[in-house]
Each structure stands twice: as C-alpha cells, then as structure tokens.
A and B are shown apart, each in its own frame.
Chain A
C-alpha cells in the first residue's frame, strides 16, 4: 500500500485515539462504560498494528515516532495499576504488612541483635559508671535530661503539683490547654525526627547494608547510654514510666525498619539465582512495604509519646497500659492477617471468623 493512502485512511483513527487519550486525563478511566473501553482497546491494538506496519516498511521517522508515542500513552493507560483506595490501605495494615514482616523475620531478629544488644550493654556500663556517659552524650544534652526527668520536670506528677492546681480552677484550665498545645509541637517533632531516622536507616541499606548497620549500632549505643545515665541519676522511675508506653511501638519499629534495610543489603550480597539488580528489585519491593509499616508504627509511637506518655497519670496506670501496648505490638506483628487467605474461606469458617474480622488483631486459633 502507498504511504499517502495509508496515512489518509488511518489518520482519523489516530486522531480519535489521540483525542481519547487527551480527554481521559480529566475523568477517571475506570468510570467509562464497558463498550467505550472495548472500543478504545481495539483502537489501541489497531494503532499498534499501524506502528508495526510503518516500522516494517520504513515509512519515515516522523510517522514512527508519532505512532510510537501514541501507543506508548495508550499502553500506559491500559496496563496501569488500578487506583489505590482506602480498603487497600486497611488491607495493607491488617494483613499485608504483618505477613511480609513474618516472612522476613530473620532480618528483623538480626536487626534486633544489632540494636538491642549494644543498647543493653551501653545501658549496663553507663549505669554502673555514669562518668562514661560524657564520652557519648554531649554536655548540654545531659543537662537537658537532668531537667526533663529531675525533680522539677513536667513529668513529675507527685502530690504537690496537683494540690497547687486545685487552688484556682481557671489557672488549672489554662495550664491544661497550654500543656496540650506544647504536646502538639512535640508530636510534630517526634514524627519529623524519629520517622525520618527510621526511613533513612532503611534507605541506607542499599549501600550493601552498611548504612543500616551503622545507624542501628549508633542509635542502640546512644539510647542505651542515655537510659543508663538517667537511671544512674536516680530519675529511673520517671524515665521508665515515660518510656514504657511508646517504647513498644518506637523501639520495635526501629528494628523493623532496620530489618527492611538489611533485606536490601542482603539482596545485593546474596542475589541467589537472579542477577544483582533483579534481586534488588524483587526484594526491594518487599522491603519498602515493611519499612512503610515501620513508619506507620512510628507515627503511632509519636502520638503516644507526645500525648500519653507525659500526661499526669499515676505511674501504675502507665505501666499497665505500657505493657498492654507491648502485648498489642507483639500480637499485631506475630498474628495479624494469619487467617485472611487469598483464596476465599469455606462458608462455615468465614462465618465464624467474621466476628473477629472487625478487630485489628486476630488470634492464632480463634
């Protein structure tokens, strides 16, 4: 067939497809009626065919690149992933993330070893020998810790303060409101700071895992030294009651993010049957979903740390709630999403499990 004739015949179709591609940006593709979609998918195949024809006959660079771009855009549209929705987010948090976590639990345990072991050692050493703390913690920071957890600290919820407050109801109220206000700023700080560190800890795993290991070791030693120092100054009670609630989410999440970073490093070092890049891509997609879960956990931890941990509730309640949170984290990571199968459950089983489906966590044998 002749080039002129061919172009003359096909151009209306190309134009039609082009207009469709332009218009589809505004409205959602999924809302199109079925006939429209099949019509345009046929058009896409026709244009693909035209492209192949023109290529094989060598009918010019301009024409080829025009059709190439047309097909590429169509390809992009038709083979795109379905849009994300809220149900997907919930499924990820309730099923996807804990499952992926358990599938890669070895990395998490390694990260725990890299994080909690130096934490414990430096805690033990510094608590018995507080003068060593100066080697790790800057001076101003130490003064800050003394202020935070000392007798005068806002965490001090002993009798004297509450009696002060009850004198004047107005001042009590205003104090409460500024307390909440200040806490909000701390929440922002924790989100920005802690989640940032965890995400960086994960991302640096791409440097053969070295960055992750460094971050884990450094933070473990530093946190251990801080804890040991504060406890050695006799402020242990206030510190532990402050830390126990959010520690469940925070410390675990750091190890989870570290484990995800180790996956990246391991994918590069031990690619197995794949090439190194392939292995990095396949494992990386798993790793980032684990790291995303860690980020969500850290946001939860930041909210607890900001609003619950420093509140003036008696230490006993804090310990109870804190240990409850540790159990929740354990159950969530250990058992959430165990029953949710990809294949539909048999009817009877599904009915039974429906009651537990509402809850966030599911027991192993319920």
Chain B
C-alpha cells in the first residue's frame, strides 16, 4: 500500500517530519514485551494479538470437535458389546476434552496446543519461563469465566491490558507470544562497484553504527519497495547525512541518486573501521580459537 504512493507527494512532507515522533510512536504501538534474563540481557518477545489467538482458538475448536467425532465412531463399535461402558468412556472423553485439552497440551508440550503450534503461538510465564502444569491448569480453568458471552469477558480483558492477557492469563501470570522462526541474518551488503566518498568532500563527522547498519538493512531490502518509494525514503536520510557530513561534492548525487549516496557513505565508513581495527580482530580470533580448544 505504501509503495503505491508517488514520490511527489511524500518527499516534502516526510522529509520535514520530525524524526523524534517516529520513535515515540513506536513505543506506544509496541507489541513487544521486555524481560531481563539472569545473564543481564534484555530479551524481547513479540506478543500475540487477539486476532491471531482467535484463529488458533478456531483451529483448536475444530480439532476438539474432530476428537469427539472420532471418539463417537470408536465408542459406537464398543457399544455393540458393552453399551453402558461405551457411554461412560465417551462421557469421560468429553470431560477431558472440555477441561483437559488445553491444560494437557499447554502443560506438557511447552505451552502449545495444536492450534497455537500451527499459528506459531506459545504460552509462557511472564518471566519468560516455560509454562508448567499448575499455571496451565489455572489459565484454562479460568477459561470458563473468560468464555462468558462468547468470550466477551476475555476479549475485554485482553483489550484493557497491555500484554493482551485474558483473565486466565492474569491469574496464572502468563502471556501468549508469537514465535519467530530462527533465521540467520543475511550477510551485510558488500558493495563492490560503489566508490567510497572522497575524503576531501566531507567534514570530520562520523556516523554512528546504527546509521550504518540502517543503511545496510535498507540496501538489503530495497527490492520490496518500488523504485520511487525507495528513492523517497532514502532521500530523507541522504539529505540529513549530507548536511551533517558537510558534503561538498556532487550535490546532484544527493538529490537524484540518494541510494547511491547512502551506499557510498556506508562504503566509506564501514571500510575505514575495518582497516583500523584489523589487528584487534586478529588477536581476538586467536583467543576464540583457544577457547574452542578448551571447550571440546
């Protein structure tokens, strides 16, 4: 949708847009939950919203109905010989299906029912720990309170809490997160044909690492945007970077080829870093090698 907006409209407005507002907005809309681990590292988890959980719920509902239906077929066969026992077993299965399906699946299979597994959701304790049996039982017994008026209470509670917790989650201290698949990051973009900036054209300003990796990631993903939109977005950064660098070279390059300008900025500074700290990395590498020997 964004990519269909033409550059004429967006460039002036977005270029003037104060940078700080973007970060402030991101805080408010954040779906992330932060947890500090015993290693003193802050982990972020992506919370699952009501819509995703609804889909998972529907899948689970279908599976539970299928289980009941399957049980009914088998029970009918047993029922030919022992009609009473068959009904008894069926009722016990029904009981386990209503009260035990989620408890057993979440309590013993690391917080995932089948529907949650398919949707890539997982229930964890709000300290980041895996869920155990008692919290799983608690959150799913409380389901009967959440389910009043077609989950009206649960949905209301989800919308009122910051971590999308229904009553069962609140009482058991759990959250539902969205699991991302482990994906090795791409290698940083290596720009062979791009020439670094001329040192005479720029001042003493050195862009921060964040800016360089932003450029890196932008380069890596530019194919998902249309040319115009990518051009417009790159223009914002290129303009302000050129200002900070006091770039006195080809001003046409900044205006008309902002992406190329960013690439050459990246090339200039990532390469210079590279050479300065070469000795450091070599010594570090040998240290790591030693550690590997001691490990195994």
Q: What is the minimal beta-carbon distance from A278 to any residue of chain B, in angstroms? A: 9
Q: What is the minimal beta-carbon distance from A100 to any residue of chain B, in angstroms? A: 11
Structural contact, A1 and B284, CB atoms closer than 8 A = yes
Q: Which B residues touch A70, using CB under 8 A?
A: 182
Does B277 touch A at the CB level, under 8 Å?
Answer: yes
Structural contact, A195 and B274, CB atoms closer than 8 A = no
Q: What is the minimal beta-carbon distance from A187 to any residue of chain B, in angstroms? A: 5
> Roughly how many angstroms separate A57 CA and B141 CA in the complex, as a whole number?
45
The residue of chain A having its C-beta at the shortest distance from the C-beta of B281 within the complex is A5
- On B, residues with C-beta under 8 Å from A are 37-45, 82-92, 94-95, 98-99, 108, 110, 124, 128-130, 132-135, 137-138, 141-145, 167, 170-173, 179-180, 182-188, 208-210, 212-214, 216-217, 220, 270, 273-274, 277, 280-281, 284-285, 288, 295-296
Structural contact, A284 and B185, CB atoms closer than 8 A = no
> Roughly how many angstroms separate A80 CA and B107 CA in the complex, as a whole number?
12
> Roughly how many angstroms separate A54 CA and B119 CA in the complex, as a whole number?
30
Structural contact, B145 and A204, CB atoms closer than 8 A = yes
Structural contact, A81 and B129, CB atoms closer than 8 A = yes
Q: What is the minimal beta-carbon distance from B234 to any residue of chain A, in angstroms? A: 17
Structural contact, A75 and B128, CB atoms closer than 8 A = yes
- On A, residues with C-beta under 8 Å from B are 1-5, 7, 9, 11, 14-15, 18, 21, 39, 42, 44-45, 48-49, 51-52, 55, 57-63, 65-66, 68-73, 75-76, 79-81, 84, 178, 180-189, 191-192, 195-196, 199-200, 202-204, 206-207, 211, 264, 277, 280-281, 284-285, 287-289, 291-292
Given A5-B274, A60-B216, A206 contacting B92 (CB threshold 8 A): no
Structural contact, B277 and A2, CB atoms closer than 8 A = yes
Q: Which B residues touch A202, using CB under 8 A?
A: 141
Most buried by A among B98, B130, B213, B277: B213
Q: Which B residues touch A1, using CB under 8 A?
A: 277, 280-281, 284
Given A4-B274, A66-B183, A58 contacting B188 (CB threshold 8 A): no
Most buried by A among B88, B270, B288: B88
Structural contact, A185 and B180, CB atoms closer than 8 A = no
Q: Which A residues touch B37, using CB under 8 A?
A: 48, 71, 75
Structural contact, A18 and B182, CB atoms closer than 8 A = yes
Structural contact, B134 and A185, CB atoms closer than 8 A = no
> Roughly how many angstroms separate A55 CA and B39 CA in the complex, as a whole number?
15
